Amino acid sequence: MSVPFIKVEDLIFTYDDEDSIDKHYVLKNLSLEIEKGSFVCVLGHNGSGKSTFAKLLNMILSPDEGKIYIDGLDITDPEITEDDLFEIRRKVGMVFQNPDNQLVATIVEEDVAFGPENLGVEPSEIRRRVDSALETVGMSEYATHAPHRLSGGQKQRVAIAGIIAMQPECIIFDESTAMLDPQGRAEVMNTIAKLNREQGITVIHITHNMDEAVKADRVVVINEGEVFLDGTPKEVFSNVEKLRRAGLDVPQVTELFYDLSNHGVDLPSDILCEEEGAEILSAWLKK
Amino acid sequence: MLKDITLGQFFPGRSFLHRIDPRTKIIAALLYIVAVFLCDSIMSFIILLAATLALIALSGVPVKIIVKGLKPLIFILAFTTIYNVFFYKGDHILVHWKFITIYLEGVVFALIMGLRIICLLTGSSVLMTYTTSPIMLTDGIERLLSPLNKIKAPVHEFAMMMSIALRFIPTLVEETDKIMCAQKARGADFSSGGLIKRARALIPVLVPLFISAFRRASDLAVAMECRCYRGGSGRTRMTKTHFGARDVILFTATVILGTVIVLSNIYFPIWMI
């Protein structure tokens, strides 16, 4: 097995609690490895430390203790140069929750160009990257529009294009679908899946939406600053009781099948997809 | 609807003036303004008017929009005209009634002042705001001021601030709208009472607006850092602007305009004021 793209060892992150002398632990002994090209979903309830974890990965925050290796480079090394830091931020792009607060320019294509411009890329190459990034997210026809006239899902796709134009190897989506309506959510999720599948970009998707987590290769549940569950969506969501204890729900279909099998009905309890569930149920009802 | 606010007066298009480097347009606008103030005779005014009309034609901006853009000026125009008609002293009395005396020179001067203001605004806005997008304009200012970098003036930061401010105007306007609705739903009253009462009613709108603006600023700063922003050094631009034949034409034309106006003042000093 090759070296994992992201390797995190015994990460500790604290902040001073206003109400007590003790420090408040956001992350305690978090260790994780993420393979290149994988699609990982990080789940956790509010305050579980999942967003903090994301911000540590490109050094927006720095940990109190522990090591973070990105592509083999130790980014927690105090002697890391500023150039290394910017290279890390180029490799590990980040898309945030509020689409309005991450667009810089008054015209869509100028905003997408912002990242490559900061990297000092040649003008003709920027032009090429901007066009292809907008094409990838399906926003080419809006290239010369003003961002404030777009819908939430469209704005978020422009933000994603702005990251793609920097040619990252990994993109972290920090609750990027949380503020969108169902349609915008679907648009963004399709774009994310496409990037992972067609361009081999490693995706770390942070969310508390269970139905989105089902689409990932791997689900990591963070609770109380530690890895609580880790595995394929099927493996993770079969732990219905455990997830509930961590303050999380499971997808509705899974919950239905779990309750049915608890009541003595002979059905599998690891169904994640609604279509699959419907088929099994109708077959079972016909019996 | 507040959301439909347009940024500046930019009128998108691909006319001769639209395709000129913003730097040339800024310099041309400055030269044009100087030319307006050099106009001292009837002849020079005719030349100025012709030049202004030519600029409008070159910009492709409909005259209707330009006239609409002059509307906020009505008060200033009316004031200057009336003031000059009544208070300018000359030799040729036109009307004399009780304590009011209107001189011929006053009427001429009033007309010329009005015309001067109209030309000043139309010419400079056709050259800059109508035909240059806000981002191109700030870009142009940044490039023009770039020699100041040598004395450590934060030119890039200044231009960045301007363009971010422009970007967030519609967002904040929309937010103000939302907060006002939310406060109305809680029983706030923005439309009755005197000036002081109304101004006070705005406090519950401004406080949340400021808090939210600071939060947005902090989010944006993190997002910009994530996109490798580190100030102006080592930065490239997608749109490479360079001076072309058009720029030379416009620049030469404005210089000629200024020269012709000065010469016409000297050789055709009709109705010198």
pLDDT in tens, B94-111: 888 878 888 888 888 888
Q: Domain residues of chain A, as ranges?
A: 6-250
B230 to each of B157, B176, B177, how far by Cα in Å?
10, 31, 34
Closest chain B CA to residue A167: B227
Q: Is A113 a residue whose pLDDT tops 90?
A: yes
B99 and B170 fall within a common domain: no
Count of domains in chain B?
Answer: 2
Q: Under a CB-based contact definition with an 8 Å cutoff, are residues B53 and B170 in contact?
A: no
What's chain B's average pLDDT? 86
B73 and B182 fall within a common domain: no
State the virtual CA torsion across B55, B59, B63, B67 in degrees, nearest 10.
-80
Query: What residues have CB less than 8 Å from A26, skipping those under 6 apart?
Result: A13, A14, A15, A49, A52, A225
B76 and B111 fall within a common domain: yes
Strands A73-74 and A23-34: unpaired
pLDDT in tens, A262-287: 888 777 777 777 888 888 888 888 87
B119 and B248 fall within a common domain: yes
Q: Is B3 a residue whose pLDDT tops 60?
A: no
How far is the alpha carbon of A177 from chain B, nearest alpha carbon, in Å? 16
B126 and B220 fall within a common domain: no
Is A100 within 8 Å of B228 when comparing Cβ atoms? no
B233 contacts in chain A (CB < 8 Å): none
B196 and B172 fall within a common domain: yes
* pLDDT at res. B9: 67
Evaluate whether residue B2 is within a structural domain: no
Q: Under a CB-based contact definition with an 8 Å cutoff, are residues A76 and A68 in contact?
A: yes
Q: B219: closest CA among A70, A133, A179, A161?
A: A179
B131 and B258 fall within a common domain: yes
Separation between Cα atoms, residue A232 and residue A39, nearest integer Å:
11
Minimum mean pLDDT among A206-220, B90-104, B181-195: which range? B90-104
Minimum mean pLDDT among A14-23, A69-78, A159-168, B80-89: which range? A14-23
Evaluate whether residue B3 is within a structural domain: no
Q: Is A261 a residue whose pLDDT tops 80?
A: yes
Closest chain B CA to residue A122: B236
Q: Under a CB-based contact definition with an 8 Å cutoff, are residues A77 and A147 in contact?
A: no
Evaluate whether residue B128 is within a structural domain: yes
Angle at which helix B203-226 crosses helix B155-185, to 10 degrees, equals 140
Superfamily name with CATH number, domain A6-250 = P-loop containing nucleotide triphosphate hydrolases (3.40.50.300)
pLDDT band at A84 (very low <50, low <70, confident <90, very high): confident
Evaluate whether residue B215 is within a structural domain: yes
A58, A60, A105 ranked by CB distance to B135: nearest:
A105
B105 and B185 fall within a common domain: no
Separation between Cα atoms, residue B38 and residue B120, nearest integer Å:
12
Chain A residues whose C-beta is within 8 A of a chain B C-beta are 55, 58, 60, 82, 86, 89-90, 93-94, 96, 98, 100-107, 109-110, 113-123, 126-127, 130, 146-148, 162-163, 166
Query: Average pLDDT of B183-187?
Result: 90
* pLDDT at res. B272: 58
Q: Can you give the residue range of the structural domain that contains B188?
A: 154-226
Query: Average pLDDT of B151-169?
Result: 87
Is A148 within 8 Å of B228 when comparing Cβ atoms? no
Separation between Cα atoms, residue B149 and residue B146, nearest integer Å:
5
* pLDDT at res. B8: 57
Which residue has better confidence, A21 or B272? A21
Note the ipTM here: 0.86
* Exposure class string for A204-232: b at 16+ Cβ within 10 A, else e: bbbbbbbebbbbbebbbbbbebbbbbeee
Q: A216: closest CA among A240, A238, A241, A234?
A: A234
Q: Is A58 a residue whose pLDDT tops 50?
A: yes
Residue of A70, A148, A179 to mutate for B, most B C-beta atoms under 10 A: A148
Chain B residues whose C-beta is within 8 A of a chain A C-beta are 3, 7, 133-135, 163-164, 166-167, 170-171, 174, 215-216, 219-220, 222-230, 234-240
Q: Under a CB-based contact definition with an 8 Å cutoff, are residues B38 and B264 in contact?
A: no
pLDDT in tens, B134-149: 778 888 888 898 888 8
Closest chain A CA to residue B223: A102
B135 and B247 fall within a common domain: yes
Is B238 within 8 Å of A110 when comparing Cβ atoms? yes
Evaluate whether residue B236 is within a structural domain: no
The DSSP 8-state label assigned to residue A201 in this structure reads -
B116 and B176 fall within a common domain: no
Query: Average pLDDT of A244-261?
Result: 83
Is A110 within 8 Å of B135 when comparing Cβ atoms? yes
B163 and B93 fall within a common domain: no
Separation between Cα atoms, residue A192 and residue A210, nearest integer Å:
16
Q: B263: closest CA among B70, B35, B107?
A: B35
B213 and B117 fall within a common domain: no
Evaluate whether residue B6 is within a structural domain: no
Q: Under a CB-based contact definition with an 8 Å cutoff, are residues B80 and B117 in contact?
A: yes
DSSP string spanning A127-168?
HHHHHHHHHHTT-GGGTTS-GGGS-HHHHHHHHHHHHHTT--
